[in-house]
Each structure stands twice: as C-alpha cells, then as structure tokens.
Chains A and B, each alone.
Chain A
C-alpha cells in the first residue's frame, strides 16, 4: 500500500529523470511516402532516401556550425580586451596548430634530455666503472595532452568514488521507505551546493587527514577528485532510489512468494529493473562531474585542464584567450564523448536491447 503514497518530491524527480531517457523512434513516414510518390525528385541524383536523410541531417548541422562561426568571427573582431582582440574561429584554429607544434617541441625536449643524460652517464661509467649513476626524471612543464589525461584520470577517480557510495545508497533508500525519509532531507540539502563551496573544506580535510611522506597521489589530485565526487553523487542517488522504488509490484510479489533471499532479490529483480534509471543518473553524474572538475582544478591547482585555463588567464599573453578557447572546445568534446561512452556501456549492460537510448 505504501507505494501508492509516493513522496511528491520523489515522483517529481522520477519524471525529471525520465525525460532524459524518453525514446523517440519516429521515422519519417511522410518523407518516405513523398519520395515514393515523386521519384523524379531524387531519381536524377539516384540517392536512396535513407542516405538522403543522413545527408540532409549532416548538411543542416554543417550549415548551423558555419553560421555560428561567421557570427562568432564577426562579433569577436569588434571586441577589444586588455589581452588584444577576442579570438575568432580563425585565431582558435591557428592556435590549435600552434599548440600541436608546441607539443612536438616539448616531446623533442624530453627525448633530448634523456639522450643527454644517457651520454653523460655512459661517459661517467667509461671513466669510472664503479661510479654511481643517477637517472633524473624529466621535469619539463606538462603538455596540453598530459593535462587532458590528468583531468580524465581525476574525473574518473572522483566519479568512481561517487558511484561506490551513490549506487548502494540509492538501492538502500529505494528499498526502505524509512531510510529514504531519513536520508532525503540531507540529499535535498546538499544537492544544490556548488563545488566552490566544498573545495576549501575538502582542501583542509585532505591536508589534515591525508598525511604521508611519500604520497601515492598529489594532494591537489585528491582534493579535486573528492570535490567532483561530492558534487556528482546526487543525480545517481536520486535516480537509483526512484528506479529501485518503482519496481513492478507483481515482480516483488513473485519474489516474496518464491521467498528469495534479499541478496538474490536485489540481484535478480531490483537491479535489472532499475538499470535504466541508474544509468540515467550515472550519465547526469558524469556530466556534472566533468563540469565541476574544471572549477575544482582551477582552485586546487591540480595540473589538468582547469589549471591550464587558470594559468593562461594569469599568464595574460596575446595568445591566452585563443588558447583558453581551444581548451573550452576540448572540454566540450570530451564531455560529449564521455556521455556517448556511458551510453555504449548502458547498451552493453542493459537487458533491454529494444528501447532506443539517446
């Protein structure tokens, strides 16, 4: 009976969460029909309707992007900042080339460094075979690619940490109304907190608690990862709770009649039916995490993309703005790829291969 009186907040969240997974399998019958009725419209080109649709889709997005770039270039040329003109797409594209060259140079410098060290050590050994040879690691500044990698590792770490807490917590809250009522106010309270508010506290906590002479991770890394975790916890907790609480009542009754032990009940009945919502939550979490990460890295000085942007900003050269713009676009692309990745994982894991995921 209890499931009838769902907490209004909870059903709200359910709806909000569902909108992310609404499938639309609409084909365009009208278009196909018109193509069939009027073969002359494409026979001269002899492009099949399916290819036509794809072509049309891509050409529309290309037009959209081009228009945006034109507008951007036009506006950018008219904005003067203390660091020169605001970069337009042309400057940004040439900056990409510039940064690629920079990367090559940095790689070369690294190779040269090790080569120099090698010859030095070899000479030393030749003159004195008993000499102690030291190999120093290269300490040049991190390249843009390194920084991307560090950001990815940090977000992965924070996200994994959050999921380790969020999914079990969501399952327990979904199973027990009592616990849900106890935890829900806390969730609602912490959900809207900005990462910037958490960061000083996390920094102090990490400095106080993570003390080691030879730390496995940098403090800035741990701080950033924990801040990411704190902020991306909530969508997964909420969606998992909703998913678990809305398991079909008949299936629960089946489980009760068979007398399944709790762990089998969760594994065989609760988890499979909650999987779509759990994934919705995870996708929202990962997107939040990636967004939060940049801010966290700026403040915690974790040498990732956030620090890259911050350093460029502080650096204030005439290239800075276009370099930041490159980072912005890279951040966007990576966010896109991360979401597609989650979608692929969901497609692989979910039992329901019929729903169209988007």
Chain B
C-alpha cells in the first residue's frame, strides 16, 4: 500500500568549489497521515537537506518524494515550513504576516470575512491573538516562533515541516511551545516532520524518531518507534521507564556514531 508521504531512494549532490559533494544517499522513509516524525542526527548530517527536499526548496539529484499520490518537485503551501529563526517579515504585523500566506493560499476560496476569521482562529490556536497588531521586534522569541507556526498552520498544509523550530529558545519557553505543539497535533492531526538536536524533545513529541547516519552520503540510520500513550505529560514521563529507555536508545545511537566519526577522523 502507498504511504501518505513516501521518500524513496533520495540522494543529492551539491556542486562546490572543490568538486561535487554528495550530501545524501539512498534515503528511504514512509510516513503515515497524522504521524509525528523527528529527524535527529549530528550537525552536518543532512537533516536540513532532507527537509529542504521535502519542502521542494532543493531538488533531489536522484530518487523522489510522493505526497498524497503526487510527486513533490517544487515548493508549495502543501508543505509549510517553520524556520528555525521564525522568518517573519519585520515590516508586517503579526496578523499581516499570517494574512500574507492566507491571502495567497485561499485566494478565490474564502471571502474576506472568512479569511479574517481563519487568521484569528489560527492565532488563537497558538495563543498569540492578543499580540496580533504588534510587529515582530516587539514580541519575544517564543512568541515569534508561535507566529511562525500559526502562519504555517493557516496554510492548511498536508505536512508541517519544522526545521529545529525551538532550537533558538530558552528551556522554559521551549517546554511551553512543545506543549502547545502537542496540543495542536492532537487537535488537528497534522502530519509533522521535525528536525531536532534535542533528544528529550524528540522522544516527548514523536511517534517515530528517524536517526540519521553521519555524512557525507548520509542516510537513514535507525528508526525508533515511540509507543508512549498520548496525551503525554513531560512531568509524568520524566521517570517513566519506557521514556527513559527510548531516550537512552537515541543517545546510544548518537554516541556510537560520534565515536565512529571521531575514530575515523583520528
């Protein structure tokens, strides 16, 4: 049976000054609708490249991606991206930032009043409706990232792609946003592919964790299914043996890989 999102035999080569550089080789992954997937791996292992290919921002050199029966070969609001540093337009208010996307995606499908309602709804979803007339420089980093998420959700994407969305935030803010994201995922059943460096975050949020081997020519190393029941509570899970075990497995993988590259380099 065809998966909702299927990455098959994807590889990519970049032309650099010192010749061709192969970043990814033979990446295969099948993702079901509504699944929450985390990509984890060492820096430079090509996680972001996978995400960029999924987004259509990069073109795979070989292999391909099929989403909901259609090939992915260009960017589209179908695959909204939450960028690490929020990427809000500083000259637009919070509301206008979301509006820019909504106007484009629902042009001809929603009336002006419906669009307004839809934008407000999405801002409320990430608890940011009180700041909708503020400019990005007037709100905190966590709030900016909430707006980034609202902008993506408002495009009603088939897959939500997140590139280290909480990487630049402090621990407390990050925890709040993770909780919000879990809520939203439970409510909307969005399919999510998220890149992260944070092992706890991966285990807490994901249905499956995809661990990537180190580059060059990186590929999928191992896939770990997290079967912890939802809704998950970070406090309750902190001492849950399954949680601790999953966490230990991911760390083990990362640690082994690191040792391996360390040995190779030496």
Which one, A250, A273, A354, contacts B87 given CB within 8 A?
A250
Shortest distance in angstroms between B93's beta carbon and chain A's nearest beta carbon?
A: 11
- In the bound assembly, the distance between CA atoms of A256 and B55 in angstroms comes to 10
Given A250-B87, A251-B87, A268-B100, are A257 and B14 also a contact pair (CB < 8 Å)?
no
Please determine whether A260 and B85 come into contact, CB atoms closer than 8 angstroms.
no
Given A1-B14, A264-B104, are A257 and B81 also a contact pair (CB < 8 Å)?
yes
Please determine whether B83 and A351 come into contact, CB atoms closer than 8 angstroms.
no
Q: Which positions 235-274 of chain A face chain B at CB distance < 8 Å?
A: 248, 250-251, 253-254, 256-260, 264, 268-269, 272-273
- In the bound assembly, the distance between CA atoms of A273 and B79 in angstroms comes to 25
Given A272-B89, A351-B91, are A253 and B81 also a contact pair (CB < 8 Å)?
yes
Most central of B56, B80, B89 by chain A CB within 10 Å: B89
Does B137 belong to the interface (CB within 8 Å)?
yes
Does B233 belong to the interface (CB within 8 Å)?
no
Does A23 belong to the interface (CB within 8 Å)?
no
- In the bound assembly, the distance between CA atoms of A351 and B75 in angstroms comes to 28
Shortest distance in angstroms between A123's beta carbon and chain B's nearest beta carbon?
A: 68
Shortest distance in angstroms between A109's beta carbon and chain B's nearest beta carbon?
A: 55
Shortest distance in angstroms between A113's beta carbon and chain B's nearest beta carbon?
A: 56
Q: Which residues of A contact B87 (CB under 8 A)?
A: 248, 250-251, 253-254
Which one, B56, B91, B100, contacts A258 given CB within 8 A?
B100
Residue of A nearest to B15 (CB): A1
Does A352 belong to the interface (CB within 8 Å)?
yes
Please determine whether B14 and A254 come into contact, CB atoms closer than 8 angstroms.
no
Please determine whether A257 and B77 come into contact, CB atoms closer than 8 angstroms.
yes
Please determine whether A257 and B76 come into contact, CB atoms closer than 8 angstroms.
yes
- In the bound assembly, the distance between CA atoms of A56 and B87 in angstroms comes to 45
Which one, B14, B77, B91, B105, contacts A352 given CB within 8 A?
B91
Does B155 belong to the interface (CB within 8 Å)?
yes
- 0/1 string, A184-223, CB within 8 A of B gives 1: 0000000000000000000000000000000000000000
Please determine whether B91 and A254 come into contact, CB atoms closer than 8 angstroms.
no
- In the bound assembly, the distance between CA atoms of A181 and B80 in angstroms comes to 33
Does B182 belong to the interface (CB within 8 Å)?
no
Given A250-B87, A272-B89, A272-B91, are A257 and B105 also a contact pair (CB < 8 Å)?
no
Please determine whether A351 and B90 come into contact, CB atoms closer than 8 angstroms.
yes
- 0/1 string, B82-108, CB within 8 A of A gives 1: 010101011110000000110011000
Q: Which residues of B contact A248 (CB under 8 A)?
A: 87
Which one, A251, A256, A273, A352, contacts B75 given CB within 8 A?
A256
Q: Which residues of B contact A352 (CB under 8 A)?
A: 90-91
Q: Which positions 263-320 of chain A face chain B at CB distance < 8 Å?
A: 264, 268-269, 272-273
Please determine whether B101 and A258 come into contact, CB atoms closer than 8 angstroms.
yes
Q: Would you call the interface of chain A mostly helix, strand, loop, or mixed?
A: helix
Please determine whether A258 and B14 come into contact, CB atoms closer than 8 angstroms.
no
Q: Which residues of A contact B15 (CB under 8 A)?
A: 1
Given A1-B14, A352-B90, are A257 and B79 also a contact pair (CB < 8 Å)?
yes
Q: Which residues of B contact A268 (CB under 8 A)?
A: 89, 92, 100
Residue of A nearest to B157 (CB): A257
Residue of A nearest to B100 (CB): A268
Please determine whether A258 and B77 come into contact, CB atoms closer than 8 angstroms.
yes
- 0/1 string, B1-44, CB within 8 A of A gives 1: 00000000000001100000000000000000000000000000
Most central of A254, A257, A258, A269 by chain B CB within 10 Å: A257
Shortest distance in angstroms between B34's beta carbon and chain A's nearest beta carbon?
A: 21
Please determine whether A250 and B104 come into contact, CB atoms closer than 8 angstroms.
no
Q: Which residues of B contact A351 (CB under 8 A)?
A: 90-91
Does B57 belong to the interface (CB within 8 Å)?
yes
Residue of A nearest to B85 (CB): A250
Given A256-B57, A257-B80, are A354 and B137 also a contact pair (CB < 8 Å)?
yes
- In the bound assembly, the distance between CA atoms of A258 and B155 in angstroms comes to 8
Please determine whether A257 and B89 come into contact, CB atoms closer than 8 angstroms.
no
Q: Which residues of A contact B75 (CB under 8 A)?
A: 253, 256-257, 259
Q: Could you jot down 25 A-B contacts, CB within 8 Å?
A: A1-B14, A248-B87, A250-B83, A251-B87, A251-B89, A253-B57, A253-B75, A253-B81, A253-B83, A256-B75, A257-B56, A257-B77, A257-B80, A258-B77, A258-B101, A258-B104, A258-B105, A259-B76, A259-B104, A268-B92, A268-B100, A272-B89, A351-B91, A352-B91, A354-B137
Closest 4 CB pairs of A and B: A351-B91, A250-B87, A272-B91, A256-B75
**Chain B: residues with CB nearer than 8 A to chain A?**
14-15, 55-57, 75-77, 79-81, 83, 85, 87, 89-92, 100-101, 104-105, 137, 155
Besides the known contacts A1-B14, A1-B15, A248-B87, 18 further A-B residue pairs in the complex with CB atoms under 8 A apart? A250-B83, A251-B87, A251-B89, A253-B57, A253-B81, A253-B83, A253-B87, A254-B83, A254-B87, A254-B89, A256-B56, A257-B55, A258-B105, A260-B104, A268-B89, A268-B100, A351-B91, A352-B91
